[in-house]
């Protein structure tokens, strides 16, 4: 059998040593790269933003909660000059404006007093009148243009009335009357007072 000479072995061995040398060099380089990567600072975790959740309590940026729609208030919104006393004006428009103010402020004693005989002509006691009209919680009264006429020594003034009370609207007519300046008439007879009405609160 013919064996290769020593020169041939040297030529074969040299590439093997070169391959091993290159492999070792590549391995060392890979380790160096990996170690260098470990030394790099990791990015900081993102800081959570401020929350408005009720679970962590109120913050300056907390969104305001929706407020419930307020219901009609029973609190008077204006004042009557003399509570319990009806207007003594000879102007029917002014008298009805004052009566409307009494209704809007829920001053039922004054509103009742606009009926004849200091309120007794309403057919209700003060307590019963207040109980009936108290169904109006926040009334806004509009008095329309009226008509005046005379008959049998008396003057009559008739006007349309609209009462808006929250979602409800009450409409009707009101008639006021007074004696037409006849001799011997009392102050109560000479003042405008409610004769009748179709308003049902």
Residues forming a β-bridge with 82: none
Closest among 199, 152, 201, 160 to 178, alpha carbons compared: 152
**Torsion, Cα of 25, 28, 33, 39 (10° steps):** -150
Q: What CATH class is the domain 92-197?
A: alpha beta
- Is residue 113's pLDDT more than 90? yes
- What is the C-alpha to C-alpha distance for residues 174 and 144, in angstroms, rounded to an integer? 10
Token pair of 74, please? 């029973």
Indicate if the pLDDT at residue 65 is higher than 80. Answer: no
Q: What are phi and psi of 161, to 5 degrees?
A: -125, 140
pLDDT at 189: 86
- Span 178-193, mean pLDDT? 87
Using an 8 Å Cβ cutoff, are 177 and 154 in contact? Answer: yes
Percent of the chain with pLDDT over 70: 59
In this prediction, what percent of the chain has a pLDDT beyond 90? 49
C-alpha closest to that of 198 among 179, 175, 168: 175
| pTM as predicted | 0.59
Confidence of residue 168 (pLDDT cuts 50, 70, 90): very high
DSSP H helices, 57-175, are: 92-104, 108-113, 126-133
pLDDT, average across residues 104-126: 95
In degrees and rounded to multiples of 5, residue 79 shows phi and psi of: -120, 145
């Amino acid at each position: 059998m013919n064996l290769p000479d020593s020169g041939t072995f040297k030529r074969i061995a040299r590439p093997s040593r070169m391959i091993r040398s290159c492999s070792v060099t590549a391995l060392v380089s890979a380790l160096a790269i990996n170690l260098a990567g470990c030394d790099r600072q990791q990015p900081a975790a993102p800081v959570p933003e401020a929350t408005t959740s009720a679970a962590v309590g109120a913050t300056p940026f907390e969104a305001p909660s929706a407020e419930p729609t307020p219901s009609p208030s029973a609190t008077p919104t204006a004042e009557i000059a003399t509570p319990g006393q009806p207007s003594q004006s000879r102007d029917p428009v002014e008298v009805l404006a004052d009566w409307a103010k009494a209704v809007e402020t829920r001053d039922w004693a004054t509103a009742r007093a606009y009926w004849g005989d200091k309120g007794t002509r309403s057919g209700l006691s003060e307590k019963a009148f207040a109980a009936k009209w108290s169904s109006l919680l926040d009334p806004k009264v509009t008095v329309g243009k009226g008509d005046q006429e005379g008959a049998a020594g008396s003057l009559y003034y008739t006007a349309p009335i609209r009462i808006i009370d929250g979602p409800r609207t009450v409409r009707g007519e009101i008639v006021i009357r007074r004696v037409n300046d006849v001799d011997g008439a009392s102050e109560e007879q000479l003042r405008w007072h409610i004769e009748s009405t179709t308003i049902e609160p």
